[in-house]
Structure 1
Amino acid sequence: MYKSKGIQAYRKDSIKSDLASADPHRVIQLLMQGALEKLALGKGCIERSDWEGKAAALTRASEIINALRDALDRDANPELVDNLESLYEYMMVRITEASVTKDTAIIDQVMGLILQIKGAWDQISTLDKQVAYGGQTEARVGVV
């Protein structure tokens, strides 16, 4: 138990440190990673019949996806933003469905969607990030 709390405290400090120095692109990467981790945790909880853990993990995954949706910048690319917004809303509906039905296949589907978006996000070049943010330090991003 002590080990687990120590690891959790270390991870929280590490994430806080990473966020403190992160550019908007990195913040989105961290959010996507966090959503994937919470979904995987929720899936594991379903497999172990840990209903309290499932509820907590899937609720947190939905909150993170909602934060990704809220970070979308309509001015950057309205059509793409509309598509991503719809996709994020779909993911949240599917997570709720997975939570109610305890269907891990739905969680796998949502994880697959996030991985596709994250894969594209991770391919953005340093030059493109610099052009997009133009030295901005605020948390809003062009396209999530």
Structure 2
Amino acid sequence: MFGSMKRGANAYANIGVETGVIAASPHKLITMLFDGALVAIALGKKSMGEGNIKDKGESITKAILIIDNGLRASLNKEVGGELALNLDSLYEYMSRRLFEANATNNPAILDEIHGLLDDIRSAWEQIGPNAVQSAAPPMAMTQDVSLSSFAKA
């Protein structure tokens, strides 16, 4: 009985997430990726502290996938120029460090990457959704936020 209720609740939650993604602005989609990675890192740290190797690995892997297949893959290097290239290098660094944190059970690395992602997320929020639609601000154009770029994730 409880298994089917849980499946129903999960299906309902998935529909809510899918609806949120479909209805989200390009700016909001990137914000959702940041939020997902930040939550995954926090859960990875919690699981690490509890000695739960399985959940730690799953959470950190999820964060890496969001960074690589979401944030990094959505960079528009042609339009974003040097800034997009720098973000690409930073995202690559974050993924390597998260892998290292997972392998060595080092929560300090998780804190480091969480802080970096949170800083970038804050900067992304500062430019606001209207800046993404204008061609003027270079930061706004460093993330290619078409829905097709998220199909891989």
- Normalised TM-score (structure 2): 0.80
Judged with a 3 Å threshold, the aligned counterparts in structure 2 of structure 1 residues 137 and 107 are, in CA distance, closer, same or farther, namely closer
* Partner residue, 1:45: 47
* Partner residue, 1:96: 99
- Normalised TM-score (structure 1): 0.85
* Partner residue, 2:146: 138
Could you tell me how far 1:131 is from its partner in structure 2?
1.4
Could you tell me how far 1:15 is from its partner in structure 2?
1.5
Gaps of 5+ in 1: none
Paired residues in the alignment total 138
Gaps of 5+ in 2: none
Aligned pair partner of 1:122 in 121, 125, 147: 125
| Counterpart residue identity of residue 104, structure 2 | T
**Identity within the alignment, %:** 36
CA root-mean-square deviation: 2.3
Judged with a 3 Å threshold, the aligned counterparts in structure 2 of structure 1 residues 32 and 105 are, in CA distance, closer, same or farther, namely same
**1:2-41 → structure 2 map (5 Å cutoff):** 8-41=10-43
| Counterpart residue identity of residue 73, structure 1 | N
